[in-house]
Amino acid sequence: MLKCTINGVELEVKPGTTIIQAMNDNAQRIAHYCWHPGLSVAGVCRLCMVEIEGNPRVQIACNTTITEGMKINNTSEKVKDAVKWGLDFHLINHPLDCPICDQAGECGLQDQYMEYGKYNPEMAEKKQKKHKVVDLGPTVVLDSERCILCSRCVRFTDEVSKTNELGIFNRGDHAEIGTHDGKQLDNKYSLNTVDICPVGALTSKDFRFKQRVWYLKDSETVCNGCSTGCNVKVYFNKEGLFRVKPKYNAEVNGHWMCDEGRNTYKFVNKEHRLQKSKKFVNGSWQAEVHAGQASMEAAQVLKASPAGEIALVLTGQQTVEEYEAILNTFVNTYQTKNVFHWWPQEAQAEEFDGLLIRGDKNPNTSGLKQALAKYGITAKWTDLEQGIKSGQLKHVVVFGPENTAVYPDLNQKLDLFAQAQNLTYFSTAKVPALENAAALKSVTLIPLKSYIEKDGTFVNYQGRAQQFKKATIVVSEALTGVEAAQLLAGQSLQIQVINEKNLFTAVSNTRKDQVTLDHRKKNEFVFNRGRL
């Protein structure tokens, strides 16, 4: 290890560490644009200036490695003056687009000007006019006037995605980012260029002009788009979710995530969700009931049925905690091991693109397999098909996928489940194919919470267990898998409905669990659990 001093703080760093990396690792602020910890060093912005004792000139921190005993600072007047002039040159041609720029509120240019600038500009030349609203491909729009030519996006497509769509063309004031002839910025990781753009030059078509970032809250979670389990942040407000961005995790996804994973926020929003319980009996859909009441009614049917007639279907999209609760209910309470793993991508599970995207599009297949092994479950899917068609398995309970887009066999499987004498289908997503099926017998649809509405654990393809916390509530009446399992496990249920107070209370005499439903506003409820 090498010893050095940065801004009066003594540090030990590994040989080969650059000054800017050491400062970044130790939470010391330094102006920079072109440097990014996940990309090669370019050294083109000239903002990361530092003063090194014994060296008469300021140096750039991104391309200067630390040597034994080096004394460094970026707080002297000499450094501040160099950074101020660097910022002035970056702003020569930058338009005053802040009021209409999507990057406003999280813009590196605004942040660095406020921290390192605040000067009176001395440039009198007219600004160069460049191309605006340039369509680079299916996901990204370019505003060339805002671009400061940091080259991060170019290096990303060269070094990370290795698709080489982008380059810097022309010289001097006329230099611009663009795509090579005959190419579009069209790869499975293209939106990472928007994340690493330090200004508003590259913007996402999907997020563009939808929300101001200061109206959004964010929360850390785990992407449920595939078995990689990228660490991400979701951005939301009371209107719903608006975007997903990667969070750095050196052991899982580094600084990046795929474009498919960014779309996982869409199926969480209300327009795609099953929001109320529905029951199909006697040839028609009945009046909606609360999810808790529907679950308890399903429990009464299961309680009166022989174990051999009950089947459970699980997907790799629930959490470890939900698997434990659900399997405990069915194996121990209902004494059945007719438990089946619904996994349409099994043949493609080992596929991998070399960066992040995996063939298994479920976040917790490993967790489900571990849970099934723990409870000694060995049932095969063919047993379920034969059991339903023969009438042996009369009561089928399904915890369906919330990301139905990755289940190409969804409608086929719904047709199979609908043949059961009694089907209880827990779902985050709407299932129009089941609601509109022609040959239904008895069906109960019950809403589940999505991955951003609950605490839990996903186990990724590596066997790495990653915990995450609830971010927000989108469908308040929906249940978690744990709550559903507890309601299904109730032995003797007492139901009290107080219409004038809009209060629903369900008490399990054996477990002494209390479930209450408080009316918050018309057609919206909050479902709370507490111990008696």
pLDDT of res. 91: 82
Q: Is the pLDDT of residue 396 over 50?
A: yes
Among 434, 449, 475, where does a domain finish? 475
Question: What are the b/e assignments for 454-484, b being 16+ CB within 10 Å?
Answer: bebbbbbbeeeebebeebbbbbbbbbbbbbb
Instruction: Determine the pLDDT at residue 494.
Output: 38
Residue linked to tokens 């703080």: 9
195-204, 370-379, 413-422, 506-515 — which is least confidently predicted? Answer: 506-515
DSSP state of 271: G
Asked if residues 176 and 130 have their Cβ atoms less than 8 Å apart, the reply is yes
- Residue 311 corresponds to which tokens in the numbers above? 């089947």
Mean pLDDT of the chain: 88
Please check whether residue 426 lies inside any domain of the structure: yes
Q: Specify if 348 maps to a domain.
A: yes
- Number of folded domains in the chain? 2
Question: How far apart (Å, rounded) are the C-alpha atoms in residues 170 and 359?
Answer: 41
Is 519 among the domain residues? Answer: no
* Cα 18 from Cα 29, distance rounded (Å): 15
Range of 37's domain?
2-90
Q: How far apart are CA 177 and CA 56, in angstroms?
A: 35
pLDDT digits (tens, 9 = 90+) for 496-525: 333 323 333 333 333 333 333 333 333 333
Q: Does 287 map to a domain? A: yes
Let me know if residue 485 belongs to a domain: no
Q: How confident is the model over 215-241, as pLDDT tens digits?
A: 999 999 999 999 999 999 999 999 999
Domain containing residue 412: CATH number: 3.40.50.740
Note the pLDDT tens digit of each residue in 72-94.
Answer: 999 999 999 999 888 888 888 88
**Residue 156 located in a structural domain:** no
CB atoms within 10 A of CB 497: 13
Q: What is the pLDDT of residue 246?
A: 97
Q: What is the end-to-end Cα distance of the chain in Å, rounded?
A: 58
Q: 51, 68, 90 — which closes off a domain? A: 90
CATH number assigned to the domain comprising residue 65: 3.10.20.740
Query: Which tens digit of pLDDT belongs to each residue from 413-463?
Result: 999 999 999 999 999 999 998 888 767 889 999 999 999 999 999 999 999
Q: Which of 52, 74, 90 is the last residue of a domain?
A: 90
Which residue type, as a one-letter code, is found at position 404? Answer: T
Q: Is residue 64 part of a domain?
A: yes
Q: Indicate if the alpha-carbon torsion angle 105, 110, 112, 116 is positive or negative.
A: negative
Q: Residue 129: inside a domain, yes or no?
A: no
